[in-house]
């Protein structure tokens, strides 16, 4: 079976091993399957094996997929760049938005979320290393955004999401994640409601977990290479 690169079971085993190594409770690390540019059929296959949370980065593509999967008890995370005209659909159709990076999106997401729905879970995307080509709030802007989010009745501030520069060496990955974890722990002193540090992908989730990640976002390792 080579449709899925790393079976869900194998990946969970790897996560368990890493947690054991770092003396971390495995329940504290959530696995999000990044299903962008993967078929609805593959999502269904993984859901049948017990995976519940999936992430997408394009609204239209996500909507097409969700429409084919309405019978699943899936939870959906939005992790892509947010265009303000798409806030309404994103706020109503996702359980989490991890890529909030500017002030003007916040009220839009709040206003669009139906008050009968549970509050929308929000992570602030932080461009921690100030990379010019990457989206995300600057570290110094995070508190301002957090203060706005906590005052929105239909939003729930959960934490931060980061995508640090790719490093092939484990020690470099770990160093970056440690730095981000310090930043997160410091934020939590002001925002104790934060419980989510979303970091780590296929190529670096072990280092992320060992540095305190509570949510890893894995795509290619689970689903195989993406379709173009």
CA-to-CA distance for 28 and 19, rounded, in angstroms? 9
Nearest residue to the partner ligand PLP, using Cβ:
219
Question: Is 216 a binder of ligand PLP (CB under 6 A)?
Answer: no
Question: Is 77 a binder of ligand PLP (CB under 6 A)?
Answer: no
Question: Is 217 a binder of ligand PLP (CB under 6 A)?
Answer: yes
Contacts of ligand PLP in 101-160 (CB under 6 A): none
Residue among 201, 208, 209, 210 that touches ligand PLP (CB under 6 A):
201
Q: Which stretch binds ligand PLP (CB under 6 A): 62-70, 85-93, 113-121, 217-225?
A: 217-225
Question: Is 91 a binder of ligand PLP (CB under 6 A)?
Answer: no
Of 35 and 181, CB closest to ligand PLP: 35
Residue among 36, 65, 77, 113 that touches ligand PLP (CB under 6 A):
36
Work out the angle at residue 168's Cα, subtended by the Cα atoms of residues 163 and 169, and round it to the nearest 5 degrees.
110
Q: Which residues of 79-110 are buried (b: 16+ CB within 10 A; e: fewer)?
A: bbebeeebbeebbebbebbbbbbeeebbebbb
Question: Is 220 a binder of ligand PLP (CB under 6 A)?
Answer: yes
Question: Are residues 121 and 97 in contact, defined by beta-carbon separation less than 8 angstroms?
Answer: yes
Of 118 and 165, CB closest to ligand PLP: 165
CA-to-CA distance for 96 and 30, rounded, in angstroms? 13
CA-to-CA distance for 227 and 210, rounded, in angstroms? 31
**What's phi and psi for 125, nearest 5 deg?**
-80, 125
Residue among 57, 176, 181, 214 that touches ligand PLP (CB under 6 A):
57
Question: Are residues 40 and 65 in contact, defined by beta-carbon separation less than 8 angstroms?
Answer: yes
Contacting residues toward ligand PLP, per CB under 6 A = 34, 36, 57, 79, 163, 201-203, 217-221
């Amino acid at each position: 079976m080579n449709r899925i690169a790393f079976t869900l079971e194998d990946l969970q085993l790897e996560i368990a091993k890493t947690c054991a190594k770092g003396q971390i409770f495995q329940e504290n690390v959530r696995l999000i399957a990044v299903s962008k540019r993967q078929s609805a059929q593959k999502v269904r296959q993984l859901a049948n094996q017990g995976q519940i949370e999936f992430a997408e980065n394009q609204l239209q593509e996500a909507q097409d997929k969700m429409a084919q999967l309405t019978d699943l008890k899936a939870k959906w995370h939005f992790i892509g760049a947010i265009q303000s005209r798409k806030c309404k659909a994103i706020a109503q159709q996702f359980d989490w938005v991890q890529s909030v990076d500017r002030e003007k999106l916040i009220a839009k997401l709040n206003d669009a979320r139906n008050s009968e729905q549970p509050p929308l879970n929000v992570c602030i995307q932080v461009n921690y290393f100030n990379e010019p080509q990457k989206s995300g709030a600057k570290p110094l802007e995070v508190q301002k955004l957090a203060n706005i989010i906590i005052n929105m009745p239909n939003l729930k501030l959960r934490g931060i999401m980061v995508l640090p520069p790719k490093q092939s060496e484990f020690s470099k990955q770990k160093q970056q994640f440690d730095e981000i974890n310090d930043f997160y722990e410091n934020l939590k002193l002001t925002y104790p409601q934060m419980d989510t540090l979303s970091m780590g992908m296929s190529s670096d989730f072990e280092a992320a977990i060992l540095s305190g990640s509570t949510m890893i976002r894995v795509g290619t390792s689970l689903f195989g290479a993406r379709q173009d």
